[in-house]
Homo-oligomer: A and B are copies of this chain.
């Protein structure tokens, strides 16, 4: 796996996608397809699709919608010229009635003609912008998963979808916080500006050393914990809604689109007929 990953990091997007599609690569996607938009994935039956789409519209910071398939069509036409949602994500989680029921690397046998696939923007986009500005991100430098926490911030519900917001935390040097806020605000499709900076208790986090997901990260002196809305939030909403079947990406194993990550609009122009 490691050898594959090191080689794929140098590869262009078509080669990366071919390796994922063929099942030759089933690992995480951080650092792959550099410069291209990566996205969280949620697949639901059409019966839940309108409510889920309303949940995303009402909670755009945790759930920034970047693509939606036609019902029953596994090709994500607005995100790629040849992007098959059944095979082009390295690994998938399968939820039945809101509970994780397994992991797989291809969902061709699960896809049915009433399904709708949703792609949601992820934090990689604004993290790249922060790093390019020279703002250090501890979890990247130390190859761990960013710490994520349940909060007391209520999302706006839609039908059966309801959640308290999940956030990710990055400890930033005090003097760089304003800059990080301004920079990430430029990426509304990648969670936008932080939802909070400072006292974790103010948003219902009891112990900053014990994340609910991901790995703990230090909070050194002179640093401020900065909290961004997190793409794990829809997973919590899906647990609450408990649809008969829901398929997501496996965390960290993202959909990589043909769209440059800094694109103003995450939509391929229609091809001439």
Contact = CB atoms under 8 A, between A and B. Distances in A.
Contact of A270 (B50, B57, B154): B154
A58 B188 CA distance: 16
Contacts of A59: 267
B68 A265 contact: no
A62 to B, nearest CB: 11
B78 A68 contact: no
Contacts of A150: none
A61 B265 contact: yes
Given A78-B156, A264-B192, A46 B50 contact: yes
A224 interface: no
A65 interface: yes
Contacts of A84: none
Interface of A: 46, 49-50, 53-54, 57-61, 65, 67-68, 70-71, 77-78, 116, 154-159, 185, 188, 192-193, 264-265, 267, 269-270
Top 8 nearest A-B pairs by Cβ distance?
Answer: A154-B270, A50-B50, A54-B68, A57-B68, A58-B78, A53-B53, A156-B270, A60-B265
